[in-house]
Amino acid sequence: MITKKKGLTRSEKSAKTKQRIFQGAMELFEKNGFENVTMKEIASFTQTSIGSIYHFFKDKDSIALYMMAAIDHQYQEYFKELGIMSVSKSMSAMEQLKRFCVRIPLISVSLGDLSLSLIYIHGLKHLEQDNLRMDNRQIYVILEYLINKCKEEGSLDIFCSNEDIKRRIIILARGLLLDWLFSGHAFDIERESDYMMSLLLDEIKKIN
């Protein structure tokens, strides 16, 4: 008996179209420069109707920021790994916090230089939409959880401000990424992240 091959579901087709638009747009941004590419050109290049493009993305900025969802997923996955490691290796909450902080810029690097640059540009153009600091972003939710666990185990003073700690971690991660981009990847970002995050957390632990 011949089994009829199932076609893609509507949601699968939609996801595939969205990904094709994103990849095509990024190719055009890389080739012609972000400011020189129009939504109409993206539609033509990806063989997609202009209506379909606007269904998925309201503007070019939203196309560039599409990968943020994938980054959030990577934060979640690494956080799950930390949970497993903490059980098998009796890892302290502070060690989990440090490892997660070190990983933040490394996960962001997977976006690629162009997407990272566009995220910074978007942040400067739309200061009210600070995507990295939105409370519902996974990076913030995870940091909040780990900081509270550190307070429970006594490695951080309970009166330390969670918001201050998160802000300093984000500032450091952004600074590392920006300098790594501007220097043309001139240094080992993982080693620098480990060194700088260790210094920051050591200073935070001294606060009481």
> pLDDT tens digit string along 97-107?
999 999 999 98
101 located within any domain: yes
Q: What total number of domains does the chain contain?
A: 2
Range of the domain at 60: 10-64
Which of 64, 83, 107 delimits the end of a domain? 64
Instruction: Give residue 171's pLDDT.
Output: 93
187 shares a domain with 111: yes
Give the range among 42-56, 112-126, 170-184 with minimum mean pLDDT: 112-126
55 shares a domain with 73: no
Q: How many whole angstroms separate alpha carbon 41 and alpha carbon 37?
A: 7
137 shares a domain with 42: no
Q: How many whole angstroms separate alpha carbon 121 and alpha carbon 181?
A: 13
DSSP category for residue 207: -
145 shares a domain with 89: yes
> pLDDT tens digit string along 4-54?
556 778 888 888 999 899 889 988 988 888 888 999 999 999 999 999 999
Mean pLDDT (the chain, rounded): 86
Q: What is the pTM of this model?
A: 0.76
180 located within any domain: yes
Choose between 122 and 46: higher pLDDT: 46
Residue 133 near residue 163, CB atoms below 8 Å:
no
191 shares a domain with 116: yes
